[in-house]
Structure 1
Amino acid sequence: MVSSIEQQGKEAGVGNAGALESTLGKEYSRLEGKAFLPHSAKVKPPTYNVPPDEVVRRDREWNYLDSPLNQIPIPRAPAPTFGEVTPRPQVWHREDTFFPVLRNRTITVHGPSNYILQKAVSRYETLIGSCTKLSIHPRHYISRKFNDTEVDQNLTCMARRNFRSARLKPSYPQYYAVESLEKHFSQFPGYLAKANSKMAISHIHLGVRRLGGPWPNSEMNESYLLIAAPLGIKILAEEVWGAIRGLETLSQLLWCSPSGSTIFINQTFIRDYPSFLHRGLHLDTSRHYISKHKILMNLETMAFNKLNVFHWHITDDQSFPFVSRTFPELSRQAAYNSKMVYTHDDVREIVEFARVRGIRVIPEFDIPGHTRSWSLSHPEIFAKCYDMENESPFYGGLDPSKNETLEFLASLFKEIVELFPDSTLHMGFDEVEFNCWSSNPAIKKFMLDNGMGSPIDIFKIFTVRLLNRIQEAAKHVTLTGQRRFIFWQEVFDNGLKVPNNSLIHLWKDLNSIPGYFGFQAIVSKGWYLDSYLKPSEWIGYYENEIYPSSHFYPDVYANFEPKNVIGGEACLWSEWQSDETVIQRIWPVTSAIAERLWYYRTPNSDEFGPRLEEQRCRLLRRGVPVGVASGPGMCPLPSGPDGDISPFDLIKIGAIGTITSGEYIHHLEIRKIILLIFCGLALFTAGYFAGRQGLAAHLSRVLKTLSTNNFGITGTSRLARFRKYALNALFICFSTFIAILLLVSSTPHTSGLRSNLEHQVKGIKQKQQHENRVKPGRRATSQYK
């Protein structure tokens, strides 16, 4: 769906954001007597003097538009949009009319509220409070002869004029929803739909019909309505989870002037809901250990992209980083390092951090294969492979013929279901080494004694027994009384007997369709993040089909009902990615997959490319060190105070604190608490000694003695007593002074923090400017350093 401003620009022949130049420039030349946007739609410079500054896409590459005589393309990423949403809303009407938004406005919640909603409101009030983490109007489309101050003045004048004259247009196809939204808000106590007196939007109203469950789940309602108009911004959600998604959309609709001095929002109507309920990201933390900090950063970025499932592949052949309280020897023997582990407290923190962002955490302890690391501490439950009837030192996975194996797994998964509250559990069951089982004499004897023809028969019985034991353990710790299992595609291909409500995770192909037999499916085919060679291949992920092709597989497509696909997951296996590279590998490429899962329509890469660039720049400004998406380019930065500190600098300097218990904790608050405790102990100690020595009585006697003797001290004993009393008095005064000084210095002054950061960033900028002054011939070397 193309916004009206984009449509006007295309009709004028100046591209996407060129519409702002042609439309707003002519309007300002008429209204204000001057225009910072020249009429480039009518007057174009000769191409032999100025090369056309247009970027086009050929296949999966973005390049400058160039002469066919030039054989070497010039790569260039498309210019980012501003104030546009990723993933795209289902119904989105965006007008070219825009209004100023006050920085000190608040979000008012109407209807029921809970801890999760309060945390979300607090997060987004901070997020949208300044231009630091919002999109910036790019100067790419504006003539360089106009400085940022002139651009800001014109934008502000036009926004105020729009504010005075704009009306919500009843021509919207969904205008009935606007009317119903207004009626619904009028029923909330204390709601006042009054005009703003400061010529800017100052009210953000958030309405919630019902809370929903305390945990995100597979049936949660994430739908919402959003209206941005002069009377204020209104968001109405069915449940808290929809309110969280609506707040994220609002944070993306806001954009700032080039200098970062003013926040704007276009007149907008949005009716939104996801196309799929399951929109996940799979992360392998076994092949390379991924730190808790990077996991939390990844969860935050998932919330920015409206993903709602974190599929945590915790263990594999290479390591066992989970610290089990039932079997602590597993991580003690198989973790890479004693510090490269996830304790119960770490897991709870990650789960809670995800919960308040509407993200489910689904663990995967892959069995019976991919368990080599387990054998370091428990070789007794493994099946050894045999070569020509001779025992080899190699294992082929867990031994399904032993009762010890079943009891071990039942105890371990009891601990797992008690720790992870989600009602879904990923069991793995992929790439099982049946050949090794067939070579083991004990397994062959078990098959012979029980009349079984192949190891798959043992595996079938083993699967049923294990799942029953897990369900028994889950009765007392799961809200639904049972767990729903997810299996990789091999379970269905091997014909194992699994519960009818199981989910089949497709990763090989879409030909063996579980939908034939009523199973619901999760699709990861075509969404393996470790397989792309360069980030521009996001186009392949974006255009990936989640359903089998009706052209190539008409019989399969006819029997495969779309309702059987509940969603998909992007998968990152960490054989070739580590803690230092995982974020850049996942983002912003996964934003294309998130768009596909939220807004499943006919893909339009030309339209999505500029929005992906804006999302990339937005993530960078929010502190996520993402990678490149479409080639060479840059992210617009405000020239004002909000542009002095980039998110990358904040992370390096350390102004962004550690993420714990679902929110950022300011390091100054911790310092303040410590200082208060110290002052309390000091005053308590002083008071204690003062009470023991009778200091008040001593001081009064000293003053009386001094007054009666006209301040003359003649006796040696009297002088000694005076020194004793004076030292006690000085101790009390000194302690009180230190306490007051510490209390004053512990107050987290924003200005002090700001000046400190500005001083450090100034040094970084001076170093960068020095590098930029290097001779052209040495530029590459300087940048490399």
Structure 2
Amino acid sequence: MLSKAVLTLVLATVTSVRAVWPIPATIETGDKTLWIGEALSVTYNGDKVCWRPTSNNHPCPLDDDTMDTNVGSLFWQLPWIRNYVAVGGPKFSSKEIVKGGVSRAMEAILDDNFVPWKLYPRLELESTEPSLRKPKTYVSCLDITQTGKDTAKTFKPLAGDVDESYNLTLGTDGKAAISAVSSIGVLRGLETFTQLFFQHSQGPIYTTKAPVKITDAPQYDHRGVLMDVSRNYLPLDTIYRTIDAMSWNKLNRLHIHATDSQSWPLEIPALPELHQKGAYAKGKTYSPKDIAAIHTYAIQRGVEAIVEIDTPGHFGIVALSHPELITGWGATPWSSYCAEPPCGQIQLNNPKTDAFFDKLMDDLLPRLSPYSAYFHTGGDEVNFNEYTLDPTVGTNDSAVIVPLLQKFIDKHHARVRKAGLVPMVWEEIPASYNVTIGEDVVVQSWLGDEAIKSLTGQGHKVITSNYNYWYLDCGRGQWLNIPEGEALEANWPFNDWCGPTKSWRLVYSYDPRAGLTDDEAALVLGGEVGAWAETIDEVNLDSILWPRSSAAGEVLWSGRTDSAGENRTQFDAAPRLAEFRERMLARGVRADPVYMTFCTQGGNATTCSL
């Protein structure tokens, strides 16, 4: 019998076993059991999809015009495929995207699933699981239809270029279907499809949700994670794993903060001295092949990588290879000249600066433009006092510095546009320094709701990373050492600047468009959670990001409010997020628990509530 799990009523009527994350626009589920296995037939626009090789001797055939993506994520980590991508250039097709998505979805369902004992009452899993003795109806086919045609913009989109909507049905007869306008929409539908199934304690895979009918589409075009690879180097497999988890959460932008004053891990063949002197160690760098592989891996999963070279601040590391271009390197006390050590900014009035950036960007940007529509030029935390040390400026007078900043930004953004990319900046450029920027420029705001209202009120396109809600490094303690004595007493108990910790509940409570007019709200393209890496590396990144980024992911995909205009509550979110956390664990991401097992076994979110 069909029960409509309208989202505003999910808490009252549906336990976590009927969960989908992020919650779809509409979802109807039933209570019939279906099973699924390797006999599943998958078609894409009528053509059979070979999603699983039967053996090494009988692999899925390799298409002449596409790269084989059927063997899962490890395929893209092989050195030879990174060579192929760098040499052959980006080659993407709808069929390739969908084939890879099908393979990964079935891998998640059949190989990386989990027994949901945490989601049933204590010690009652076996009595509530579907019986293995009764006749079984299997999901026999999954028919995928793409109704629109992908273009080059599909794989390197600006906000709004891609229709990510999808429809998903699963009948009690075992016939499933996904329809979407784009291949990226197909990927989103496939990720939802994976969440319909569980592993039986005796091994087989089943769902108790049939029939299923889902329609879905995102509320925001830009749904991202900021990853800082400069303050602590992150290995490629860590980046790949993060992209995987983003795709499961229907997040679609990976913002790579590639360089900062602490290190320069990015290899620039035209300027090899940058990484040779600026990387933390040999091998702790990203080659052009690595960057191409990251972009390709992301695109295959419906994620666009956006690289940031922060300028003109946060640039001190270049002093190790080009001291003539940098002011403030090694300045003391550092707190007078920069936000964190080591200091160092570009000399704004040095004639050599233009030639350096021409050479840097002529190398880098043509290698990024085939894969991404954006390039982030930074612009945050420029310390005017540091320009008292700049022999080409010699003052902290904004009347002198702002015109020089304007000239620098104008030239820098012209380089970005010349490469066919759209510039992004941190909000200080227009908001704090009164630098004029083009109408195409996307402004990333981190200073809060008032800043977003001011920026959108001026007509700027904005993505939000409001530090009060979405800075995930906050509340974990000070990373600076405090000397004994008066300073120790003043700084005890060594809290960081942006505490408290942003729990998933706080992340989930944020509405990026709250308090805005309709015209202002339309300029908020989406948002990003921030994982600044002073105390983050590959060991703890998963637990920092997940499931808190999942909470932001639902806000950005599904909206902070439901179709009735009511806030989505923690009571609705917590059981679904707890279940989704188990799915991430099963697929290899070490996400933190949402709450204790006692709560998940309670059957609904009121078990653990005030």
TM-score, normalised relative to structure 2: 0.77
Residues 559 and 104 (structure 1), Cα distance of their counterparts in 2 relative to 1, 3 Å cut: closer
Matched, 1:626 2:591: yes
The runs of 5 or more residues in structure 2 that have no matched partner are 48-93, 477-499, 562-566, 602-610
Aligned-partner Cα distance in 2 for 1:120–1:140? 27
Aligned-partner Cα distance in 1 for 2:427–2:27? 37
Partner of 1:101: 36
Aligned-partner Cα distance in 2 for 1:459–1:5? 49
Matched, 1:539 2:499: no
Which one-letter code corresponds to 1:86 in the other structure? W
Partner of 2:423: 485
Cα displacement (A) at 1:265:
4.7
Partner of 1:698: none
**8 A Cα contact 1:438 1:455, kept in partner:** no
Which has the higher Rg, Structure 1 or Structure 2?
1
Partner of 1:408: 356
Aligned to 2:595, the other structure's residue is in SS state coil
Aligned-partner Cα distance in 1 for 2:555–2:10? 27
Match runs of 1:519-538 below 5 Å:
519-525=460-466, 526-533=469-476, 537-538=503-504
**8 A Cα contact 2:10 2:572, kept in partner:** no
Match runs of 1:12-411 below 5 Å:
17=15, 81-110=16-45, 113-128=94-109, 130=110, 132-138=111-117, 141-142=120-121, 144=123, 148=126, 151-152=128-129, 154=131, 157=134, 199-214=137-152, 215-218=155-158, 219-231=161-173, 232-266=175-209, 267-384=211-328, 396-411=344-359
Residues 516 and 200 (structure 1), Cα distance of their counterparts in 2 relative to 1, 3 Å cut: same
Partner of 2:417: 471
Aligned to 1:282, the other structure's residue is in SS state strand
**8 A Cα contact 2:386 2:396, kept in partner:** no
Cα displacement (A) at 1:582:
1.0
Match runs of 1:659-738 below 5 Å:
none
**8 A Cα contact 1:89 1:599, kept in partner:** yes
- 1:119-157 Cα deviation digits (max 9, x unpaired): 2222223332x2x4235343664574x783x65563764
Partner of 2:578: 613
Partner of 2:375: 425
Aligned to 1:362, the other structure's residue is in SS state strand
- 1:7-48 Cα deviation digits (max 9, x unpaired): 79958xxxx54xxxxxxxxxxxxxxxxxxxxxxxxxxxxxxx
Residues 490 and 205 (structure 1), Cα distance of their counterparts in 2 relative to 1, 3 Å cut: same
Partner of 1:563: 522
Aligned-partner Cα distance in 1 for 2:133–2:402? 71
Partner of 1:655: none
Cα displacement (A) at 1:395:
5.9
- Aligned match of 2:447 in 504, 508, 511? 508
- 1:185-235 Cα deviation digits (max 9, x unpaired): xxxxxxxxxxxxx73321111111134124141311111001111240110
Which one-letter code corresponds to 2:169 in the other structure? I
Aligned-partner Cα distance in 2 for 1:291–1:486? 25
Partner of 1:496: 435
Residues 635 and 471 (structure 1), Cα distance of their counterparts in 2 relative to 1, 3 Å cut: same
**8 A Cα contact 1:279 1:567, kept in partner:** yes
Q: Which has the higher contact order (CA 8 A, sep 6+)?
A: 2
**8 A Cα contact 2:348 2:392, kept in partner:** no
Residues 380 and 608 (structure 1), Cα distance of their counterparts in 2 relative to 1, 3 Å cut: same
Aligned-partner Cα distance in 2 for 1:5–1:292? 38
Partner of 2:531: 572
**8 A Cα contact 1:535 1:628, kept in partner:** no
Aligned to 2:470, the other structure's residue is in SS state coil
In the comparison of the two structures, how many residue pairs are matched? 504
Cα displacement (A) at 1:607:
1.1
For the aligned residues, what is the CA RMSD? 3.1
Residues 261 and 467 (structure 1), Cα distance of their counterparts in 2 relative to 1, 3 Å cut: closer
Cα displacement (A) at 1:85:
1.2
Residues 134 and 3 (structure 1), Cα distance of their counterparts in 2 relative to 1, 3 Å cut: farther
Aligned-partner Cα distance in 2 for 1:384–1:535? 32
Aligned to 1:405, the other structure's residue is in SS state helix
**8 A Cα contact 1:382 1:395, kept in partner:** no
Which one-letter code corresponds to 1:235 in the other structure? I
Partner of 1:3: 5
Aligned to 2:594, the other structure's residue is in SS state coil
Residues 609 and 588 (structure 1), Cα distance of their counterparts in 2 relative to 1, 3 Å cut: same
- 1:221-263 Cα deviation digits (max 9, x unpaired): 1110011112401100101010010011101112233333242
- 1:404-436 Cα deviation digits (max 9, x unpaired): 111111211222211213121111001001112
Aligned-partner Cα distance in 2 for 1:263–1:373? 54
**8 A Cα contact 1:522 1:567, kept in partner:** yes
Residues 216 and 538 (structure 1), Cα distance of their counterparts in 2 relative to 1, 3 Å cut: same
Residues 348 and 633 (structure 1), Cα distance of their counterparts in 2 relative to 1, 3 Å cut: farther
Residues 464 and 8 (structure 1), Cα distance of their counterparts in 2 relative to 1, 3 Å cut: closer
Aligned to 1:89, the other structure's residue is in SS state coil
TM-score, normalised relative to structure 1: 0.60
Cα displacement (A) at 1:4:
8.2
Partner of 1:771: none
Residues 532 and 251 (structure 1), Cα distance of their counterparts in 2 relative to 1, 3 Å cut: farther
Aligned to 2:267, the other structure's residue is in SS state coil
Aligned-partner Cα distance in 1 for 2:125–2:253? 45
Aligned-partner Cα distance in 2 for 1:511–1:297? 35
Aligned to 1:505, the other structure's residue is in SS state strand
Which one-letter code corresponds to 2:157 in the other structure? N
Which one-letter code corresponds to 1:293 in the other structure? D
**8 A Cα contact 1:503 1:520, kept in partner:** yes
Partner of 2:68: none
Cα displacement (A) at 1:542:
0.3
Which one-letter code corresponds to 1:592 in the other structure? A
**8 A Cα contact 1:224 1:237, kept in partner:** yes
Residues 5 and 515 (structure 1), Cα distance of their counterparts in 2 relative to 1, 3 Å cut: closer
Which one-letter code corresponds to 1:538 in the other structure? W
Cα displacement (A) at 1:454:
2.1
**8 A Cα contact 1:434 1:456, kept in partner:** no
Aligned-partner Cα distance in 1 for 2:598–2:378? 41
Which one-letter code corresponds to 1:370 in the other structure? H
Residues 152 and 540 (structure 1), Cα distance of their counterparts in 2 relative to 1, 3 Å cut: closer
Aligned to 1:546, the other structure's residue is in SS state coil
Aligned-partner Cα distance in 2 for 1:394–1:84? 47
Aligned-partner Cα distance in 2 for 1:6–1:424? 37
